[in-house]
């Protein structure tokens, strides 16, 4: 990408890394209350996996936090792409004068480039208005639709460090080997709720946010022909893959339902066991999702969930919790994570008893993209490491009283 004039007004440079490899970048120039987004690029081998979208969202967020009201960009070929983030095409005359004087507008980009503008004030109020419902769920749905279509799974827990793939660490080689090829690569979990659930033959199971259906298929093997397993997911693309996986596995005791975990499309008191893998953290209304889980469970029914949970005091770090959460996109499973105490409280408020939250895996900086945030990158390395260590993959179990 051309770099002329970039450093004169540079206010943030973002990079995306895959392990140690740099795979994408974006930069923001600031001119008082106007910003210019530049140099958004993703390595060809890593396109189609949402890396560019993550960079653009992070750049927009960074700019917003600088107090910038309007963000501009120039593009030769990607106007449709940027339109997805709310940028709209405008004439050069509509651009803030300081931005018009930038190097980018004066020769770095050809005069035929399309000018686009994003009104950050409007975007902020829209996000705030609907953050409790529509926006987050739409983003989550789009994110997982894109990931399953582009084949970019996987679990948000990294492998064992000795090269053993994550799915083998979570599920065991024997279990994985018994599944049709490819099923495991449609998994996005962070634990093994089927192992937690101690399923018995004949039980009725519901998987909240069943994704590609791996846990549904494993549960179906455990409950056998006399049992039944429902997978519930709101994303059409995920449901299509799950149904295909079930067909390939020859599973006849499973059914995938389209719907929201905050409004489960099943009658009350009909399910023996609820499982879920890395989903509750994604819902903007966790209290409602857990109340719904309680409603559909039979008296004495069990909940066995793997989820991202915060274990540690985020307030001891020299950045606000809001900044930490803003740095971690919601769709990456982390920003919406509950603390151990919050999980316990919500489960108890929903009516559950015998509640246990057990840390199974503590994240490291390699798992949690804290380094994509300017606020967090400014912190000493040991503080960032401690911060990453507050995020865990945990096992949550509870029971509906008889
Ligand atoms: C991290 S993936 C996990 C998928 C699956 N449990 C697994 O382990 O592979 C999250 C899944 O939950 C679904 N999901 C997220 N929020 C949901 C909601 N509120 N209602 C229904 N499904 C939801 C997404 O569509 C996606 O398939």
Domain residue ranges of the chain, discontinuous segments joined by +? 6-130, 153-399
d(CA 139, CA 282): 10
* Paired strand residues for 27: 13, 38
For residue 188, which atom of ligand 1 is closest to its CA?
A: 9
Give me the pLDDT at residue 12, please.
77
**Ligand 1 pocket, Cβ-based, cut-off 6 angstroms:** 137, 140-141, 144, 187-189, 209-212, 214-215, 233-235, 238, 260-262, 277-279, 282-283, 333
- Which amino acid residue places its CA nearest to atom 27 of ligand 1? 211
Give me the pLDDT at residue 329, please.
62
Q: What is the pTM of this model?
A: 0.68
Q: For the chain, which ranges sit under pLDDT 50?
A: 123-133, 159, 331
186, two tokens: 């449609």
- Which amino acid residue places its CA nearest to atom 20 of ligand 1? 260
Q: How far is the CA of 214 from the centre of ligand 1 (A)?
A: 12
Question: Which residue has tokens 């949550």?
Answer: 396
* Sign of the dihedral through C-alpha 249, 396, 263, 342: negative
335, two tokens: 């920003």
E strand or H helix that includes residue 142: helix 134-150
Q: Do the beta carbons of residue 65 and residue 76 sit within 8 Å? A: no
Give me the pLDDT at residue 127, please.
36
Give me the pLDDT at residue 371, please.
66
Other CB atoms within 10 Å distance of the CB of residue 82: 20
Instruction: Write the CATH number of the domain with boundaries 6-130.
Output: 3.40.630.30
For residue 284, which atom of ligand 1 is closest to its CA?
A: 19
Instruction: Write the CATH number of the domain with boundaries 153-399.
Output: 3.40.50.150
Q: How far is the CA of 320 from the centre of ligand 1 (A)?
A: 28
Distances (CA, A) of 213 to 153, 185, 252, 386: 13, 11, 13, 34
Helix axes 236-249, 134-150, angle to 10 degrees: 40
Helix axes 286-296, 340-350, angle to 10 degrees: 40
3-state secondary structure of 318: coil
């Amino acid at each position: 990408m051309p770099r002329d004039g970039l450093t004169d007004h540079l206010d943030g440079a973002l990079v995306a890394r895959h392990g140690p490899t740099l795979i994408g970048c974006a930069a923001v120039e600031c001119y008082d209350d106007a910003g210019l987004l530049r140099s958004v690029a993703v390595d060809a081998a890593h396109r189609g996996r949402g890396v560019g979208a993550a960079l653009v969202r992070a750049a927009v967020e960074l700019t917003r936090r600088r107090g910038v009201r309007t963000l501009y960009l120039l593009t030769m070929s990607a106007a449709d792409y940027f339109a997805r983030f709310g940028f709209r095409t405008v004439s050069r005359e509509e651009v803030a004068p300081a931005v018009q004087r930038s190097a980018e507008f004066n020769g770095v980009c050809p005069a035929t480039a399309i000018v686009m503008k994003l009104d950050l004030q409007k975007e902020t109020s829209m996000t705030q208005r609907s953050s409790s419902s529509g926006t987050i769920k739409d983003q989550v749905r789009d994110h997982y639709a894109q990931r399953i279509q582009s084949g970019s799974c996987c679990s948000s827990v990294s492998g064992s460090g000795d090269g053993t793939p994550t799915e083998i660490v979570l599920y065991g080689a024997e279990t994985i080997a018994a599944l049709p090829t490819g099923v495991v690569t449609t998994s996005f979990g962070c634990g093994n709720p089927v192992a937690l659930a101690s399923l018995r033959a004949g039980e009725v199971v519901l998987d909240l946010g069943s994704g590609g259906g791996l846990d549904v298929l494993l549960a179906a093997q455990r409950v056998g022909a006399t049992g039944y397993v429902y997978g519930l997911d709101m994303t059409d693309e995920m449901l299509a893959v799950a149904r295909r996986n079930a067909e390939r596995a020859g599973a006849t005791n499973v059914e995938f339902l389209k719907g929201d975990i905050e409004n489960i499309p099943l009658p009350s008191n009909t399910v023996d066991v609820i499982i879920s893998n890395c989903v509750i953290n994604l819902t903007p209304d966790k209290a409602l999702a857990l109340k719904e889980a309680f409603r559909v469970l039979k008296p004495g029914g069990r909940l066995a969930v793997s989820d991202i949970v915060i274990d540690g005091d985020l307030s001891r770090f020299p950045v606000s919790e809001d900044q930490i959460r803003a740095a971690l996109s919601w769709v990456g499973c982390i920003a919406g994570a509950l603390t151990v105490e919050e999980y316990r409280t919500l489960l108890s408020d929903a009516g559950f008893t015998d509640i246990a939250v057990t840390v199974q895996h503590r994240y490291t900086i390699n798992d949690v993209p804290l380094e994509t945030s300017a606020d967090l990158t400014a912190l000493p390395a040991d503080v960032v490491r401690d911060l990453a260590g507050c995020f865990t993959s945990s096992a949550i179990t509870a029971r509906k009283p008889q």
